A and B are shown apart, each in its own frame.
Chain A
Amino acid sequence: MKIWKLLEAARQSLLKNKTRSALTMFGIIIGVAAVIVMMAMGTGAQRNIEERISTMGTNLLIIRNGTNQRGGVSRGAGSSRTLTLEDADAIRAEASLLEAVSPTTSTGGQVIGGGKNWYTQAQGVHMDYLFNRSWALSEGAMFTNADLRARAKVAVLGSTVAENLFPDQSPIGQNIRIRNVPFKIVGLLEKKGQNTFGRDQDDLILVPVSTAMFRLVGGRKWVNDIYASARDIDDTDAAMEQITEILRREHKLVDGQDNDFNIRTQTELTEMLTSTTAALTQLLMWIAFVSLIVGGVGVMNIMLVSVTERTREIGIRVSVGARSADILTQFLIEAVALSFSGGIIGVLLSWGIAIFMESSQEMTMIIETWVVAAALGVSVSIGLIFGLFPAYKAAQLDPIDALRHE
């Protein structure tokens, strides 16, 4: 049996009952479109979250102080106060999988400048901090290694602070007082907006970490966090191991002793935030998939009707020499043609819906190629699975009865 003749026969028989074919396809169209739209919404939401998390920084690892216990009383997260500038130096020198390391120490305080005052956080950081957080300056320059060594009283303002202290002028070159210590403004940070949790990321002042530790908080030995960036996102876990190894050695921890620090990665955060979305997407996907199955049952139903209607045709074909397999193939191809055409229209429909949702509902819709391929694959499989029973019934018809059928 020649495949083109089969396809032609399928086309003719589907066109013969246009309304019926269209209605049957409708079930598949809805199912395929629903699956793709749900996936597009889920992927879009995920991409949104990932993008917002990426504003936190580049391949970020955040090393925090661990828990301290004294006399069986746990002091809570960050209480161990064992991370130091020397730890950061050791990590910078030895951890080959990292490319920027910045110890940070944070202190809140009243800031006076430009005839106004504002309460904000002064963040003592290393210059690498800008790289860690993928942050750029909109004006001026970052402080230098020399400033760091000299514990220079220079500051870089976040845009919120600048707007509140110097609403009408450039803050560069101005003097401010943080907790009554005078600082000279050398740079202005680009606006970054809110972070994933809704906190204003621009409400801060960056100063050299050495200055912060020795002039603002009064001879503190420990730092709050150490920010680091993995050279490659795939090396995050290995980088974590390197850091752990270095810090355990620096902190002289013996085997069996718990880490007195912990490391958070951006990947963890992303996973945490996307897991809810992913679960919801999956649920909706299953519902959409069920509607696709229902569409398949529609195909089966119509194919059974078609086999009964065309009993005589089957009889004629068998009498002139069609084998069971020929009849089986013919009806299977018809069922697959039905569901596959439905699948293609469903893809186009979902595409239209995605464009509509993006423009009018301002939703991020991402249709991935593999999803389209999978949806088409599933629609073909549905045609095969649900077409098999009717096709088998047709192939098993007795030619004598079939020829007599009115």
Chain B
Amino acid sequence: MQAVIKTTDLRKTYFLAEPVHALRKVDITINPGEFVSIMGASGSGKSTLMNIIGCLDRPTSGNYLLDGVDVSDLGRDQRADIRNKKIGFVFQGFNLLARTTALANVELPLLYNRSKTSREATEQAIKCLERVGLGDRMDHHPSQLSGGQQQRVAIARALVNQPALILADEPTGNLDTRTSLDIMGLFQELNAEGVTIVIVTHEPEITSYTKRSIEMRDGLVIDDRILPKPNDARHDLKNFTSVTSL
């Protein structure tokens, strides 16, 4: 089975006043169907790792194979194409285009996909919005949606190109506990359908819903373990509701 992510001796150094070693030596392999959380405090290097995994940045040295393709030395436009086809991003601040509808936001990645006609794009986008349960909100602008709904739109956008990997950066950081559970439940569902998901977070509770936890500190992976029995977000959400209704 081919790994979705395989990094070998990945290093990233920022040459500021004195060199900052954001990543010292990172070797990670993530296989299809995994649901991984990358944990770490601020300054641990997890954001740098996410940028490199997301093809937004390049490593100083080392190799990174994404879906079997070496992307460590690709140019700007080639990385843009890789991001378009292989990676779906979900951000902490949702990062939706404010003055466009939910549907247009979800269509956005397909706009830059040269192999899709705009009819196909619209059909695909509608399917993805229905998948995240927003089939009836397609014409709403982000400002007319709740935080949880906005994040669902973002997830639909991440799914729309059927990427090899969904990369979520603190996806619940701007959400209340209840909505966080709801979003984690959606991620668990998607993972159950076979989508590979990597979540970068600093909240241990979020980690408990994933199947594997990687912990980073000072640019190094200090812990990498399988979680044999992750919590069920849907179940917790139900209990959570009953607690507050008391």
Q: Which residues of A contact B (CB under 8 A)?
A: 1-2, 4-5, 12-13, 16, 312-313, 315-326, 399-400, 403
CB < 8 Å A-B pair total: 62
C-alpha spacing A324/B76, complex, angstroms: 8
C-alpha spacing A318/B157, complex, angstroms: 14
Contacts of A317 in B (CB 8 A): 108, 112
C-alpha spacing A267/B112, complex, angstroms: 61
Q: Check A316/B95 contact, CB under 8 A, given A4-B118, A321-B85, A321-B113.
A: yes
The residue from A16, A324, A399 contacting B77, defined by CB atoms under 8 A apart: A324
25 contacts between A and B (CB under 8 A): A1-B112, A2-B111, A4-B118, A5-B111, A5-B118, A16-B99, A313-B97, A315-B95, A316-B95, A316-B108, A319-B54, A319-B56, A319-B89, A319-B95, A320-B112, A321-B80, A321-B83, A321-B85, A321-B113, A323-B76, A323-B112, A324-B80, A399-B56, A400-B56, A403-B91
**A148 → chain B, closest Cβ, in Å?**
83
C-alpha spacing A389/B85, complex, angstroms: 30
Closest 8 CB pairs of A and B: A321-B84, A320-B109, A321-B112, A323-B77, A323-B80, A316-B95, A321-B83, A322-B112
**B71 → chain A, closest Cβ, in Å?**
14
Contacts of A403 in B (CB 8 A): 56, 91, 95
Contacts of A322 in B (CB 8 A): 80, 111-112
Q: Bin chain B's interface residue count.
A: 20 to 34
What residue in chain B is nearest A322 (Cβ atoms)?
B112
Contacts of B111 in A (CB 8 A): 1-2, 5, 322
A-contact 0/1 string along B83-111, CB 8 Å cutoff? 11100010100011101100000001101
Contact assessment for B57 and A400 in the assembled complex, using a CB-CB cutoff below 8 Å: yes
Query: Max chain B CB contacts within 10 Å: which of A312, A317, A320?
Result: A320
C-alpha spacing A317/B77, complex, angstroms: 13
What residue in chain A is nearest B88 (Cβ atoms)?
A320
What residue in chain B is nearest A5 (Cβ atoms)?
B111
Residue B51 lies at the interface, judged by CB distance under 8 Å to chain A? yes
